[in-house]
A and B are shown apart, each in its own frame.
Chain A
Amino acid sequence: MVAAPFGYQRVTSFEEAAWALRERGEDAKVIAGGQSLVPMLNLRIARPAWLIDINPVGAGPIEDHGGYLRLPALTRHRLVEAAEVVRRRCPILAAAAACVGNVRTRTRGTIGGSLAHADPAGELPCVAVALGAEVTVRGPDGARDLAVGDLLVSYLTTTLEPDEVVAEVRVPTLGPRSGWSFLELCRRSGDWMVVGVAAVVELDADGAVAAASVTFGGVAERPWPVPAEVLADLLGGPPAGERLALVAHGAAAMLDPDDDVHASGAYRRRMAAVLGRRALVEAAARARENGSPAP
């Protein structure tokens, strides 16, 4: 298949992109890495009249701001996967980026594009929700900040206005005594996840669970964070295997995933319990390893 004709405009700033979007109206689409959009163009699932190419905006370096990493929206998955600062300060983000598509997807694909595309089976949206990441979006009249959890609405649907573009992503770093896990079940390597899970467990000085965050991907119209009241059962005690399994099962039981060609909803729910337990166990083990204070 070949894409239908469209107009093409390069922009060199996010402000210019926002103005171009306002000028072109709702038939304009932003192209970042193009690894989801161009297949949709080639299959003619999407037929925008205009593409606004933000690649010339470029991406500055990933910055470590202590409590969070600042990633320009056009940061490629390849860099997120490999960058020393990400691997050290937020290894769950590097691990999730390494799971996106194939090597060519990761060469071109961008973190801002992945979030703006809002695929409920996307790896980066799942981790971004689990960590409480934020984005800055730019419109013609200025910028605003919002949590990724407030950006993602449903399948390929966000709260972005038609003339807004994601400019920057801020991802909290993991502290000492924190452990993480990112697991996904895919039919084939590089496929979209049937089920995925991002988990972070933080221990206190006595080895009891001080905080936990678990988010499932691929099981709902957007990444689904396990409610705090479910995770509360973990707090204050040691991360014993039985307790972790109970919480994972309890969380999975709340899911009502759709059937599709890859898996039935019932299978997804069962796998969510399995992956949820494994992720909590792995995250707790890593938290114990990281138990000594950071140098």
Chain B
Amino acid sequence: MTSPAKQRVAFTVNGEQREAWVFPHDSLLDVLRDHLGHHEVRYGCGEGVCGTCTVLLDGEPVSGCLLLAVQADGCSLLTVRGLAPDGGLHPLQACFLRNGAAQCGFCTPGMLLTAWALLQRDPRPSRERVRRELTGNLCRCTGYSKILDAVQEHAAQAAEEAGGHG
């Protein structure tokens, strides 16, 4: 068949209104990276298994490689760059740094976003819950324990700041 026409899509990325002209078969990942310069969203497997292309779609984690860009029309997207909009480190990123939870760093954006989405729903998740939530994010440096440490440290800090007691 002849190639179908491009369509205009508009969505917000990290609070900023963006638009692009895309083919129906363009993935959200490709459009974010190649059209809009969001190189922090990374290609890993292209099958939704590894989690490196995780973005939050209206607050929930999705695989950027499995969402057609046309399907994100009108949605609100968050990439890891949007966690700390001022260019500094988000407290969760600071916890990753302090705990040595990033080695090569390739998986880190996906880890951070998946963990962040969990913490929005469950501010004090058990270690088992964090582990379960992050099973779909692969780290080939095998730094999983430190990642769990970092997420739990952030949860504990946030609870302390909120005046909670454990």
Contact = CB atoms under 8 A, between A and B. Distances in A.
Interface in A10-50: 31, 34-35, 38-39, 41-43, 49
A7 to B, nearest CB: 5
Contacts of B93: none
A53 interface: yes
Interface string A75-88: 00010000000000
Given A8-B68, A34-B67, A51 B24 contact: yes
A43 B65 CA distance: 12
Contact of A102 (B4, B30, B57, B135): B135
A42 B46 contact: yes
B152 interface: no
A6 B136 contact: no
A205 B60 CA distance: 45
B25 A107 contact: no
B23 interface: yes
A108 interface: yes
B48 A5 contact: no
Name the residue in A8, A31, A43, A55 with the highest tally of chain B Cβ atoms < 10 Å from its Cβ: A8
Among A34, A104, A105, chain B packs the most CB atoms within 10 A around the CB of A104
A105 B61 CA distance: 9
B62 A39 contact: no
Contact of B47 (A5, A43, A55, A108): A43
B24 A55 contact: no
A76 to B, nearest CB: 9
Contacts of B48: 35, 38-39, 101-102, 104-105
Interface string B115-148: 0011000000000000011011100000000000
A5 B114 contact: no
B61 A107 contact: yes
A7 B3 CA distance: 8
B60 A78 contact: yes
A2 B30 contact: yes
A49 B1 contact: yes
25 contacts: A5-B4, A6-B24, A6-B25, A7-B1, A8-B4, A34-B66, A35-B48, A38-B48, A38-B65, A38-B66, A38-B67, A39-B47, A41-B25, A51-B68, A55-B71, A78-B60, A102-B48, A102-B135, A103-B114, A103-B117, A103-B133, A104-B61, A104-B136, A107-B60, A190-B136
Given A34-B71, A42-B66, A53-B70, 10 more contacts: A2-B27, A4-B25, A6-B4, A7-B24, A38-B67, A103-B117, A103-B136, A104-B51, A108-B62, A190-B135
